């Protein structure tokens, strides 16, 4: 069994939404904050590699991901070029992967790259980029990272959706249909901000996307499929009574 680094487990669940399109919900073990990555790419290895997942967009494929005995290795890398920090996950060696299975991951996501640089981890990240091991990571730094994440990055749904008192975006054919630019990356950014304040995933729904229940009431959903709007890259459905009930459409 692969042991998580830093002494704590990142528990999460990932879901295959379509080929090459996955969603992950995971909890920062230090802050208890739930994160969600939606619509990221997963390199889906052939069957012998089914327990090994690389999440996120990346440019540097970890070709040296087997050891000399041809055993599968947990792997973490972070391409500095990518928009989103990348983290690795793996299941127990030899285990089959099924949608919704829990898995253990390590690393950091969302603001991780910028925060890591702030905390002086750039050399470590650079090392990872070059294929070095990450076993010398320093938990103290990560604790500081987590503490900073938990205090300075928390926003309310109201502040995100109604900055200055007005709903974000431009009205579409109805005031509750809001159009925004930036495509899936902007949608991902808004989504991540909305779900970082204690939201919980809604499981067992037929919703073809990611569904989260917000701690102060309301439900939000993120979908990149289940749409017939050809010009829309992603949609965030929002049902927060008293705040906003409608959708955010992100166009390229």
Partner 1 sequence: MINNLKEIISHSMAFIEDDFTELWVVVNKIYEENPELSFSELIEATKIVLKELIEGYNVKLLDEETQQPTDFDSSVIINIVEKRLKELNQLPTIGDGIWFTM
Considering beta carbons, is residue 21 or 43 the nearer one to partner 1? 21
- The residue from 39, 79, 107, 221 that contacts partner 1 (CB under 8 A) is 221
Considering beta carbons, is residue 41 or 219 the nearer one to partner 1? 219
Do residues 169 and 161 make contact, with C-beta atoms less than 8 angstroms apart? no
Radius of gyration of the chain, Cα coordinates, nearest whole angstrom: 18
The reply to whether 181 sits near partner 1 by the rule CB under 8 A is no
The reply to whether 99 sits near partner 1 by the rule CB under 8 A is no
* In the complex, least distance from residue 196 CB atom to partner 1, rounded to whole angstroms: 19
212 CA to centre of own chain: 13
CA distance 249 to 236: 7
The reply to whether 172 sits near partner 1 by the rule CB under 8 A is yes
The reply to whether 174 sits near partner 1 by the rule CB under 8 A is yes
Considering beta carbons, is residue 67 or 230 the nearer one to partner 1? 230
Piece of 39-47, 103-111, 122-130, 233-241 that binds partner 1 (CB under 8 A) = 233-241
- The residue from 152, 205, 215, 252 that contacts partner 1 (CB under 8 A) is 205
Considering beta carbons, is residue 47 or 228 the nearer one to partner 1? 228
Pairing of strands 177-181, 244-251: parallel
Tokens 């998580």, residue? 4
Task: State whether residue 191 is helix, strand or coil.
Answer: helix
Tokens 């091991």, residue? 133
Cα–Cα nearest to 243, from 223, 225, 213, 216? 216
CA distance 73 to 33: 28
Burial 202-211 (b: 16+ CB within 10 A, else e): eeeeeeebbb
Do residues 47 and 97 make contact, with C-beta atoms less than 8 angstroms apart? no
Piece of 6-14, 35-43, 77-85, 169-177 that binds partner 1 (CB under 8 A) = 169-177
Considering beta carbons, is residue 125 or 240 the nearer one to partner 1? 240
Structure tokens at 217: 């009431």
The reply to whether 219 sits near partner 1 by the rule CB under 8 A is yes
Task: State whether residue 192 is helix, strand or coil.
Answer: helix
The reply to whether 127 sits near partner 1 by the rule CB under 8 A is no
Piece of 54-62, 74-82, 131-139, 217-225 that binds partner 1 (CB under 8 A) = 217-225
The reply to whether 185 sits near partner 1 by the rule CB under 8 A is no
The reply to whether 228 sits near partner 1 by the rule CB under 8 A is yes
Residues that bind partner 1 (CB under 8 A): 172-174, 176-177, 202, 205-208, 211, 219-221, 226-229, 232, 235, 237-239, 241, 245-247, 249
């Amino acid at each position: 069994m692969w042991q998580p680094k830093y002494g704590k487990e990142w528990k999460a669940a990932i879901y295959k939404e379509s080929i090459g399109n996955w969603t992950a919900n995971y909890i920062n073990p230090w802050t208890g904050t739930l994160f969600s990555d939606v619509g990221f790419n997963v390199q889906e290895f052939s069957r012998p590699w089914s327990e090994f997942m690389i999440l996120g967009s990346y440019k540097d494929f970890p070709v040296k991901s087997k050891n000399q005995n041809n055993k599968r290795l947990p792997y973490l890398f972070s391409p500095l070029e990518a928009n989103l920090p990348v983290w690795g996950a793996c299941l127990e060696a030899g285990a089959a992967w099924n949608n919704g299975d829990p898995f253990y991951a390590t690393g950091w996501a969302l603001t991780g790259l910028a925060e890591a640089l702030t905390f002086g981890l750039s050399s470590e990240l650079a090392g990872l980029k070059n294929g070095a091991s990450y076993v010398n990571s320093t938990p103290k730094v990560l604790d500081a990272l987590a503490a900073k994440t938990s205090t300075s990055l928390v926003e309310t749904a109201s502040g995100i959706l109604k900055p200055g008192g007005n709903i974000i975006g431009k009205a579409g054919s109805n005031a509750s249909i809001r159009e925004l630019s930036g495509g899936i990356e902007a949608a991902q950014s808004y989504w991540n901000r909305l779900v970082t304040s204690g939201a919980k995933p809604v499981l067992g729904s037929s919703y073809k996307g990611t569904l989260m229940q917000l701690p102060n009431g309301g439900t939000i959903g993120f979908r990149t499929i289940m749409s017939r709007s050809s010009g829309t890259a992603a949609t965030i459905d929002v049902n927060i009574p008293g705040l906003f009930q409608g959708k955010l459409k992100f166009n390229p």
